[in-house]
Amino acid sequence: MPASTAAPRPNAVVAVLALAGIVVALMQTLVIPIIPELPKLLDASASDAAWAVTATLLASAVATPVVGRLGDMFGKRRMLLFSLVLLIAGSAVCALSDALVPMVAGRALQGLSAAVIPLGISIMRDELPAERLAGATAVMSASLGVGGALGLPAAALIADKLDWHMLFWLSGALGVVSLVLVLSLVPESAVRTGGRFDLLGGIGMAAGLACLLLAISKGGDWGWTAGTTLGLFAAAVVILLVWGWWELHTPEPLVDLRTTARRQVLFTNLASIAIGFSMFAMSLVLPQLLQLPEATGYGLGRSLLTTGLVMAPSGLVMMAFAPVSAKVSKSRGPKVTLMIGALIVAAGYGLNIVLMSEVWHLVLVSCVISAGIGFAYGAMPSLIMGAVPASETAAANSLNTLMRSLGTSVASAIAGVILAQMTIDLGGFALPSEDAFKVVMAIGAGAALLAFAIASFIPRHRPAGSVAGPAPADGVAAEPASAR
């Protein structure tokens, strides 16, 4: 597709890319209201129907680093458009599906669009003036939370009032709008690495991540000590070790592990896992507290639509704090911003342990945690881009996004075990106990404090406003001293 030749308009570029990020996040949230109904809707068992969620997780984990690398090689805008086409195609397949196999296939296609956010951040680095970069990337990072928070009430309303297929027609329509806007307003960057794609590296990473995430996501159903679960964990370790050896010895690796091992990149990615864990713990706890029956003594007995409306302000708070995050990064450096965000998240979970008996309590808690997430997510792209050359921006940002996803997957598994083991009996049904929720909150706070501790090891970093903007066309960028 021909790239736009007109000079980029920064406001338009930021708005369009943020919209694309919100659409991708919406895609992941839209299915939540119909998860309990999927076995009946698809004429499948509950364990089989769960693949409509698992397929998206696996596809996004595999696609994000691969598409990021392809973006660095062949054009970030080109791969962004390709990702949106996959989202549209997947939405159409799901919208036309009434059986399990096409639904899982469509959800996998949707998952392959997950690289939109890191690609968008990388396009911003190439196209925006340096003074706009920190704020723009913070907004792009926040789009993930905004889409997730706004998607839940919208999806609940549609699922309640209309045919469930409309969820996917909506996703597809928003994908088409984003595609047209990107074609019209977002330019193609001249910063590319060229070279050959590391096919073996891509296959190895895909196999290793698939084994790891499959074991994490399905271990609760299969049993954590079951042969299948343990075998997948063992396979993941072996495959990823062999993959790492290959990446270190091939001349054009999928992931430059030497760059990834730089102190600034390494500790930012480790902190991202912990922050991703903390973010998802909130998404698991608060909706359940809102929907559990009042007879439990701690549930609030609200509908799914009300739950979505309660959670919606959190996404707006995350977006509102994105520019605040950028200002702090400009003045104090993104390391400080990340550490502040982690402390705010930990404080939010601490607040949740003592405030969980009223709807307004949970609105307050979700907004506090989201403010911290907005700070942290806004700082991560600046830290990554300050330590890698412009020609590796998309791959590096995609790997950072993958680390956040790994954190959310681990959070889902651990919280699922806790909520399944610590239960009360209500009318013959086992429901998570109040103490179970408090334990998950405490672990969420601990994960945020762990992110704070990890971030303290990141080298002192120049203010984010000085991160390099558009790079030379040959893609050559100096390595920042702080990253060495």
For 411-428, the pLDDT digits (tens) are: 878 887 888 788 888 877
Q: Give me the chain's average pLDDT, please.
A: 84
Q: What is the pLDDT of residue 465?
A: 43
Q: What is the pLDDT of residue 480?
A: 39
Q: What is the pLDDT of residue 143?
A: 81
Tokens 């956010």 sit on residue: 117
How do strand 429-432 and strand 423-426 relate by DSSP bridges? antiparallel
Query: What digits encode the pLDDT tens for the residues 58-77?
Result: 888 888 888 888 888 888 89
pLDDT at 457 over 90: yes
In this structure, what token pair is assigned to residue 360? 């307004």
**Closest of 250, 276, 283, 298 to residue 408, by C-alpha:** 276
Distance of CA 442 to the CA centre of its chain: 22
Rounded-to-integer distance, Cα 462 and Cα 98, Å: 54
Tokens 């959190």 sit on residue: 314
**Does the pTM exceed 0.85?**
no
String of DSSP letters for 282-335 = HHHHHHHHHHS-GGGSS-----HHHHHHHHHHHHHHHHHHHHHHHHHHHHH-HH
Q: What is the pLDDT of residue 286?
A: 85
The one-letter code for the residue type at 240 is: L
pLDDT classification of 8: cutoffs 50, 70, 90: low
User: What single DSSP character describes residue 4?
Assistant: B
Rounded-to-integer distance, Cα 205 and Cα 61, Å: 10
In this structure, what token pair is assigned to residue 467? 């991160």
Q: Tell me the CA distances in angstroms from 366 to 203, 280, 290, 344, one per residue in order.
A: 39, 11, 12, 11
Q: What is the mean pLDDT of residues 5-20?
A: 79
In this structure, what token pair is assigned to residue 220? 């609760």
Rounded-to-integer distance, Cα 324 and Cα 135, Å: 8
String of DSSP letters for 215-272 = HHHHHHHH-TTSHHHHHHHHHHHHHHHHHHHHHHHSSS-SS-HHHHTSHHHHHHHHHH
pLDDT at 481 over 90: no
Give helix then strand counts, H and E, for the chain.
18, 2
Q: What is the mean pLDDT of residues 154-161?
A: 79
Query: What digits encode the pLDDT tens for the residues 325-374?
Result: 888 988 888 999 999 999 999 999 999 888 888 889 999 998 999 899 88
What does the H/E/C string look like for 125-180?
HHHCCHHHHHHHHHHHHHHHHHHHHHHHHHHHHHHHHCCCHHHHHHHHHHHHHHHH
Q: What is the mean pLDDT of residues 474-482?
A: 37
pLDDT at 197 over 80: yes
Which percentage of the chain shows pLDDT scores above 70? 93
